[in-house]
Amino acid sequence: HLLFSMITPVPWLERVPTYKEKTENLQIESASYGLLGYPVLQAADILIYKANVVPVGKDQLPHLELTREICRRFNFLYGEVFPEPQAKLTKYALMPGLDGRKMSKSYDNAIYLADTAEETANKIRTMFTDPERKLRTDKGDPRVRKCPVFGLHLIYNKKETDEIEAACKSAELGCVDCKKRLIKAMNDKLEPIRARRRELEQNPKQLDDILAAGAEKARKAAAATMAEVRSAMNLD
C-alpha cells in the first residue's frame, strides 16, 4: 500500500466517483487520506495476490480501473510484475438500497444477511417507493421511476415482476401490498443462507480453522509477491 501510494497521483484519487459521492452524501468538508486513499489500499489487496479476475459490483468498477492504472504505472516503472485484473460482474451488479441509492453500510440503507426475517420485514416496510404514487389510486411506473422495492423484486422475485409492474401501472396493486410480496420473496430466498449461518455459528472452532488456513495461504502468496516487488524496485 505504501509503495503504491508513492506512485499514485492525487488527481487520480480525486476523480474516483465514489470519493465524490461519499463526500457529498456524508457532507464531508475536509476528507481524510483514509477516505481519499482507500482505493490504493484496495489496489494493494488485489495486486498483492496477482488476481486476474475480481468479482465486483457495478459501483466498484472505477476502483478496479484505478487498480489497473496503478498496475500499469508500476509495470512501466519497474518491469512486468503484476497482471492487469479484469472485472467479473454478477447478474445483479448493483443492489438497490432501502432509500433508492445503492445499498451501502455507509448509508445505513442495507438489508444484511445476518438480519432476521422480522428485521428484514421491518426494513422493507420503511422503503421508498414510486414518488409519484401519493395516493393508493395513483398509477405507478416502477421501472421508469426506479422504485427500489421493484428493484429488489427484480432480484428476489423475478417470476412475478411482469405481473407486479402491470398491477402497479394500473393501480391494482398498492405499495403496501407490493412490499408484503417482497418480504415473503426475500425471506424465502434468504432463509437457507440464514440457516447455514446459524449452523456455522454453532461451531466457532471450525470457522477459526478455516480463517487460519486461509490467512496462512494468503501470507505465503503475499510474501512471494513482496519479494518480487522489492527486487524490481531495488529495495533488497
Catalytic positions, written as ranges:
22, 102, 105
Are 4 and 27 within 8 A, CB to CB? no
Q: Which of 133, 135, 105, 22 minimizes the C-alpha distance to 150? A: 133
